[in-house]
Amino acid sequence: MLDGTDDQPIEGRTFPPPADFARTASAGPDLAGRAAADRLAFWAEQALERLTWAQAPTETLDWSNAPFARWFADGTLNVAYNCLDRHVEAGHGDRVALHWEGEPGDARSLTYAELTHEVKRAANLLLSLGVRAGDRVIVYLPQIPEAVVTMLAVARIGAVHSVVFGGFSAESLRARIDDAGARLVVTADGGWRKGAVSPLKAAVDEALAVDGDSTVEHVLVVRRGGNDVSWTDGRDVWWHDAIETVEAEHVAEPFEAEHPLFILYTSGTTGKPKGILHTSGGYLTQVAYTHSVVFDLHPETDVYWCTADVGWITGHSYVVYGPLANGATQVLYEGTPDFPAPGRWWDIVEKYGVTIFYTAPTAIRGFMKSGREIPGARDLTSLRLLGSVGEPINPEAWLWFREVIGAGRTPIVDTWWQTETGAQMISPLPGVTTTKPGSAQTPLPGIVVDVVDDHGTPVGNGESGLLVVSEPWPSMLRGIWGDPDRYVETYWSRFGDRYFADDGARRDEDGDIWLLGRVDDVMNVSGHRLSTAEIESALVSHPIVAESAVVGAADETTGQAVVAFVILRNKAKTTQTPEEAVAALRAHVAHQIGAIARPRSVVLVDELPKTRSGKIMRRLLRDVAEGREVGDTTTLADTSVMSVITAEMR
């Protein structure tokens, strides 16, 4: 029995595609062959077949100004039209686009006709507030239909959205507003989280109150939490009031394929987040293509659910643009997996008859902890495909997912990609690939990746190295907002003409790819990227801190956890207890960056391990944080420091 309950070792187990899947899979067995035969022709075909263009492109890739790519550059299209109007025009207006489920239990379903109507009105609302093509709009909303409506309305008028996850602090929000030079912020009074309303408008007020004028002219506020808000006349506008004053009709005009669609900030190795820029035609081509073939989407019958928040790239590509471009019916859920009870997600799967379910390993490991009885008490038989994203999925979690959630019969797609890649890059194809627990396996048809050593030479099977993408792809980032040099330096300086993903990877004996995690100073906590530098600079901004070093330590549930080593200023040691200092610093980081960055532990130390040139050796701190024997310390300036830190840790 191939369901993870027998005694067979996990290593070496494989799961051939079920026969019924293979028969109807939207990725036919010849897909890879077609892509390999003529990669650019393959992408041109995807662009023309999957999207509706106002002006069909005749050019595919312009790489003459590498690494700044232009895809389908002479084509024009409207992204929102592709996600909405064309489905209504094709007679699918009555198909549900969103089954939205609020955390308190309220629910609302929107058909494609209704969603199109809402987006047209919202587009007129944005125009009435002075937003024009090319302007930047910050979206700081809970996971409610208005978040999707806003993103599509911004896209519809050719403006550029930058969604900021609702868990980010006022300070992080302001940094993004300033970097993007945003004209408008769309927010809500508050959103529901674990049974309480967490305020959002207040954070916007705080962000805009920071010294120095901001570029923001208006704050558009959706009523969701019902909590009190303070109001700045002339600047703040209630969504529900203003939307009543605008026209219902809006005709989508086409924009060039390379017109900017969105900026999404993500952590890098420095303290300053990078504004990853994505454009229209290539991005939409690849998200639509991957959403169709990787999830084997049959839009007439499937009910798809991706649990990601729209504040992350997964929410952009696989909640908003991919599914809607493909005319899918999907679930959108506002709250946390375990509210009001640990079975909430499975109740939702049962309620809507979810067939395709896409989530993160950290969530799966959380469910493993609370036991199989909870999902076991629900009817999950509608599920036919499961997907994983955000971090390496350990084989045990993979098998549990398949056996307990997928009743031992659903294929699992472990999808590797990044904010920068815009869409999935490495994944098994359901109905085609024989899967292996824990491996993302093969680049998708049309994508060329390799695993190389430090010198850029491809490694052999059975060996590890660094993951690179060898050829440009349609949904690749087009740069870092306002900083072209950083784009070239970060991704293209190491291996010249190949994109360096900053992930380690191994090729197994069959040549399949296993992801090994980040090789830079970026952590992955619950599938979210955080930079050590960003948290370190938040810590040293606190008056009691003299110096700090942050590492990501292995964590059973969240993949990695933030562990901070901090040297306090002498004065601070006399004015508060160590417990008070630790509590203050954890709260400070949460306030500065957001709750996701709050350190799991703060270790107060007297010294940090440094090389003779003064570089902090995080590798050694990681050893300590993970309770391991400390590795080679011979390059330390002071070799005794690690034994002191290890003692302080206890």
In the complex, least distance from residue 294 CB atom to ligand WT7, rounded to whole angstroms: 11
Which CB sits closer to ligand WT7, 158 or 361?
A: 361
**Whole-angstrom distance, CA of residue 201 vs CA of residue 204:** 5
Q: Least separation, in Å, of the C-beta of 76 and ligand WT7?
A: 29
Nearer to ligand WT7, 254 or 517 (CB): 517
CB of 415 to ligand WT7, least distance (A): 5
Q: Give the C-alpha separation, 117 to 613, whole Å.
A: 61
Q: Give the Cβ contact number of residue 41 at 10 Å.
A: 12
DSSP 594: B
φ, ψ (nearest 5 deg) of residue 289: -60, -50
With respect to ligand WT7, which residue has the nearer C-beta, 124 or 524? 524
For ligand WT7, give the closer residue by CB, 73 or 447: 447
Minimum CB distance to ligand WT7, residue 39 (Å): 22
Q: Can the peptide bond before residue 67 be classed as cis, meaning omega within 30 degrees of 0?
A: yes
Residue number, 25 or 389, with CB nearest to ligand WT7: 389
Per-residue H/E/C for 323-381? HHHCCCEEEEECCCCCCCCCCHHHHHHHHHCCCEEEECHHHHHHHHHHCCHHHHCCCCC
Closest CB to ligand WT7 among residues 78, 330:
330
Query: 101 or 414: whose CB is closer to ligand WT7?
Result: 414
DSSP secondary structure, 163-228, as one string: E--TTB-HHHHHHHHHHHT-SEEEEESEEEETTEEEESHHHHHHHHHSSS--S--EEEEE--S---
Q: Smallest distance from the beta carbon of 457 to ligand WT7, in angstroms?
A: 22
Q: Which two tokens stand for residue 13?
A: 């187990």
Q: Angle 578-592/170-180 helices, nearest 10 degrees?
A: 30
Q: Smaller CB distance to ligand WT7: residue 29 or 511?
A: 511
Report the residue number, 273 or 335, with the smaller CB distance to ligand WT7: 273
* d(C-alpha 348, C-alpha 330), whole Å: 12
Decide whether 76 or 418 has the Cβ nearer to ligand WT7.
Answer: 418
* CB atoms closer than 10 angstroms to residue 125: 24
Residues making contact with ligand WT7 (CB under 6 A): 266, 313-314, 389-392, 414-419, 440, 501, 503, 515, 517-518, 524, 527, 529
CB of 213 to ligand WT7, least distance (A): 31
Closest by alpha carbon to 598, among 526, 514, 509, 512? 526
Percent helix, strand and coil across the chain, each to the nearest 5: 35, 25, 45
Nearest 5°: the CA angle 207, 209, 213 is 100
Smallest gap, in angstroms, from Cβ of residue 169 to ligand WT7? 18
- Using the structure block, give the residue that is written with the tokens 């990669």: 39
Shortest distance in whole angstroms from residue 358 CB to ligand WT7: 10
Pairing of strands 218-222, 260-266: unpaired
Which residue bears the tokens 């077949």?
49
Q: How far is the CB of 312 from ligand WT7 (least distance, A)?
A: 6
Q: How far is the CB of 337 from ligand WT7 (least distance, A)?
A: 17
* Shortest spacing between CB 170 and ligand WT7, in angstroms: 22
Other beta carbons within 10 Å of 631: 12
What is the crossing angle of helices 641-649 and 618-625, to 10°?
A: 30
Per DSSP, what are the bridge partners of residue 278? 262
- Closest to ligand WT7 by CB, 140 vs 491, is 491
Please state the closest distance from residue 593 (CB atom) to ligand WT7, in A.
15
CB 315 within 8 A of CB 343: no
* Closest to ligand WT7 by CB, 191 or 559: 559
